[in-house]
C-alpha cells in the first residue's frame, strides 16, 4: 500500500479501522497524519469525534477507551496516536488492533523505526491493520523526487537550482518541502525557480557552495577552488569542513566507480554509480582530468585530511588552511 493509494481511498471515504504508519521517512507519515487530522472529518464533526494522543504522555488504556467509543453525530470518529514510538507499553494495544471498532479510524504514527517483526504486535498488525512502512530515500533519488514535487505544484526548476537546493538540504524531505513552499510564495507570478531564487530565499550562494567547489575539484580549477575556500573562511556556516570533505569524497568515490564500466554511455554509467544522468558529465570530467591513479590518490588524501580536520595528525590548523593544502596536493 502506498501513500497515494491510502489518500485515494480516504478521499473516496473508504476506511479501514487501523492504520499503522512506521519507518524512517517522516515526510510520508506526516502527510497521512495531517490529512487524517484535518480532512477525514468535517470541522463540525471533528469537534466531537477527533481525539489526538502523543506517545510520550499517552496511557494505553486511555487510547483504547477512546478508540472503543462510538461516534457522535457522525458516521465515524478519528483517533490519532502521534509519536507512538515514545509510548510505554505500546504492545498493550494488541488487543484492540486484533478486534478494532469498525466506526473508528485509528491512525498510529510510529516514526524513526519499525516494530520488531518477531513480536506478537507485528504479526497482528500484518493480519489486522493497514501497515505502511517508510524508508529513507536514496540520495541519488532526491533531485528527481524534488523536481517531481515542484512539478506537482505547477512549477519548474532549473537544473543548477535543483542541485543547489538538494545538495544544501540533504536527505530531509520535510525540509525540502518547506523550503519549496517558501520559494513559491516569493516567486510572485513566475513559474520557474532559478539559482538566483535559491540564493535569495534559501540563503545559498550560487557561486560559493559545496557543489561549485566539487566542480572546481573535478576540473582541476585551482583558482576557483581557492576562491571558494576563502569565501567559506569568511562565512563558516556556508561551508563547514565537516560537510565539504564527505561531499568531495563521495564525488570522487563515484568517479572511481566509473573505471569498472569502461566504454559505457552516460545513461548506463549513471545507473551503475547511482547518480542522476544529468550530472554524469561532471564525474567523467574528473576521470579525464585525474585518471585512475589520480582519483585513487585523491581518495587517500581526502581520508587523510578528514582525520586532520578532527585533530589526528594536525593540531591547531585552521579549516581553510587544511582545505587549501588539500587543493594544492590533489591538483598537483
Q: For residues 217 and 197, state if they share a domain.
A: no
Sorted by sequence, the CB contacts under 8 Å of residue 316 that are 6+ apart come out as none
Instruction: Give the confidence band of 213 by pLDDT, cuts at 50, 70, 90.
Output: very high
Q: Which of 202, 231, 254 is the last residue of a domain?
A: 202
- Tell me: do 174 and 229 sit in the same domain: no
Question: Does residue 11 sit in the same domain as residue 111?
Answer: yes
Domain count within the chain:
3
Domain limit, last residue, from 108, 134, 160: 134
Same domain, yes or no, for 114 and 150?
no
What are the cell numbers at 327?
587543493
Q: Residue 181's pLDDT is what? A: 94
Q: Which of 134, 163, 190 lies at the terminal end of a domain, its last residue?
A: 134
DSSP string, 223-262: HHHHHHHHHHHH-GGGS-HHHHHHHHHHHHHHHHHGGGST
Dihedral sign (CA 182, 184, 189, 192): positive
Q: In what order do the strands lie in the sheet with 50-54?
A: 50-54, 77-82, 104-111, 18-23, 130-134
CATH code for the domain of 247: 1.20.272.10
User: What's the domain range around 50?
Assistant: 3-134
- Looking up cell 470518529 gives 77
Domain shared by 224 and 279, yes or no: yes
pTM, two decimals, is: 0.75
Evaluate if residue 160 carries a pLDDT over 90: no
The CATH code of the domain that includes 169 is 1.10.8.60
pLDDT at 1 exceeding the cut of 80: no
Same domain, 25 and 121: yes
The arithmetic mean of pLDDT across residues 100-114, rounded, is 95
Mean pLDDT in residue range 119-132 = 93
C-alpha cell at 171: 536527505
Q: Specify whether 263 is located in the same domain as 153.
A: no
Q: What is the pLDDT of residues 269-296, one digit of tens each?
A: 988 888 877 778 889 999 999 999 999 9
Rg (CA), the chain: 25
Residues 170 and 85 in one domain: no
- Asked if 127 and 143 sit in the same domain, the reply is no
Residues 196 and 240 in one domain: no
Backbone angles phi, psi at 46, to 5 degrees: -65, -30
Residues 236 and 277 in one domain: yes
Residues 197 and 257 in one domain: no
pLDDT tens, residue by residue, 137-154: 888 789 889 999 999 999
Q: Residues near 20 by Cβ (< 8 Å), separated by ≥ 6?
A: 97, 108, 110, 115, 125, 129, 130, 131, 132
Give the mean model confidence (pLDDT) for residues 47-56.
96
Amino acid at each position: 500500500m502506498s501513500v497515494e493509494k491510502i489518500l485515494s481511498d480516504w478521499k473516496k471515504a473508504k476506511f479501514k479501522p487501523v492504520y499503522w504508519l512506521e519507518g524512517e521517512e517522516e515526510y510520508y507519515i506526516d502527510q497521512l497524519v495531517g490529512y487524517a487530522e484535518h480532512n477525514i472529518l468535517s470541522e463540525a464533526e471533528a469537534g466531537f469525534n477527533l481525539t489526538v494522543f502523543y506517545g510520550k504522555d499517552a496511557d494505553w488504556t486511555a487510547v483504547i477507551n477512546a478508540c472503543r467509543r462510538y461516534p457522535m453525530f457522525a458516521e465515524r470518529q478519528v483517533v490519532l496516536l502521534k509519536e507512538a514510538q515514545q509510548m510505554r507499553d505500546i504492545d498493550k494495544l494488541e488487543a484492540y488492533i486484533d478486534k478494532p471498532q469498525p466506526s473508528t479510524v485509528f491512525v498510529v504514527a510510529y516514526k524513526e523505526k519499525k516494530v520488531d517483526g518477531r513480536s506478537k504486535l507485528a504479526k497482528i498488525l500484518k493480519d489486522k491493520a493497514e501497515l505502511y512502512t517508510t524508508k529513507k530515500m536514496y540520495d541519488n533519488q532526491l533531485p528527481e523526487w524534488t523536481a517531481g514535487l515542484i512539478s506537482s505544484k505547477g512549477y519548474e526548476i532549473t537544473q543548477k537550482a535543483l542541485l543547489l537546493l538538494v545538495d544544501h538540504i540533504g536527505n530531509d524531505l520535510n525540509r525540502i518541502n518547506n523550503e519549496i513552499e517558501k520559494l513559491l510564495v516569493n516567486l510572485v507570478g513566475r513559474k520557474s525557480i532559478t539559482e538566483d531564487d535559491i540564493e535569495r530565499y534559501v540563503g545559498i550562494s550560487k557561486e560559493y557552495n559545496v557543489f561549485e567547489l566539487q566542480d572546481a575539484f573535478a576540473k582541476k580549477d585551482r583558482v576557483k577552488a581557492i576562491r571558494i575556500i576563502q569565501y567559506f573562511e569568511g562565512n563558516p556556516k556556508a561551508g563547514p569542513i565537516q560537510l565539504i570533505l564527505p561531499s568531495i569524497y563521495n564525488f570522487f568515490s563515484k568517479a572511481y566507480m566509473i573505471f569498472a564500466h569502461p566504454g559505457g554511455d552516460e545513461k548506463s554509467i549513471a545507473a551503475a554509480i547511482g547518480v542522476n544522468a544529468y550530472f554524469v558529465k561532471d564525474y567523467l570530467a574528473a576521470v579525464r582530468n585525474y585518471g585512475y591513479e589520480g582519483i585513487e590518490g585523491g581518495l587517500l588524501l581526502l581520508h587523510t585530511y578528514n582525520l586532520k580536520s578532527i585533530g589526528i595528525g594536525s593540531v591547531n590548523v585552521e579549516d581553510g588552511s587544511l582545505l587549501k593544502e588539500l587543493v594544492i596536493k590533489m591538483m598537483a
